[in-house]
Amino acid sequence: AQKVTQAQTEISVVEKEDVTLDCVYETRDTTYYLFWYKQPPSGELVFLIRRNSFDEQNEISGRYSWNFQKSTSSFNFTITASQVVDSAVYFCALSEEDRGAQKLVFGQGTRLTINP
């Protein structure tokens, strides 16, 4: 069965510090997608990134970067120079394809607090 583990339940850092959110996954599929979502206090899930299992290139988007390592089944997320607005719950998710539709399995989330 698919599983996503986010071992860090809560992280608290001071503004401008770098912070890394860990994600480890389990799947028997050879084709799958990995995601990160942000859930601010308003509650809506905000899509951040999608990565497919055949693309192990790291990605950088502004202050955000993602490190995908198939060898360790990890998909970690780093925020550089964190800001108070980054405070939210972050979810890592794994999808499997089922007849063209994607089924998402989420981790338990990491609550990130950025203190001024």
Binding site for another protein (CB under 8 A): 4, 31, 33, 42-45, 47, 50, 52, 91, 93, 97-109
| In the complex, least distance from residue 116 CB atom to another protein, rounded to whole angstroms | 25
Q: What is the closest distance, in whole angstroms, from the C-beta atom of residue 24 to another protein in the complex?
A: 14
Name which of 13 and 45 has its Cβ closer to another protein.
Answer: 45
Question: Residue 19 or 94: which CB sits closer to another protein?
Answer: 94
Q: How far is the CB of 17 from another protein (least distance, A)?
A: 24
Residue 116: name the closest of 84, 69, 73 by CA: 84
| Min CB(49)–another protein separation in Å | 11
> Of 20 and 52, which CB lies nearer to another protein in the complex structure?
52
Contacts of 99 (CB under 8 A, 6+ apart): none
CA distance 104 to 89: 17
DSSP strand pairing (110-115 vs 10-14): parallel
Contacts of 96 (CB under 8 A, 6+ apart): 2, 27, 29, 32, 102, 103, 105
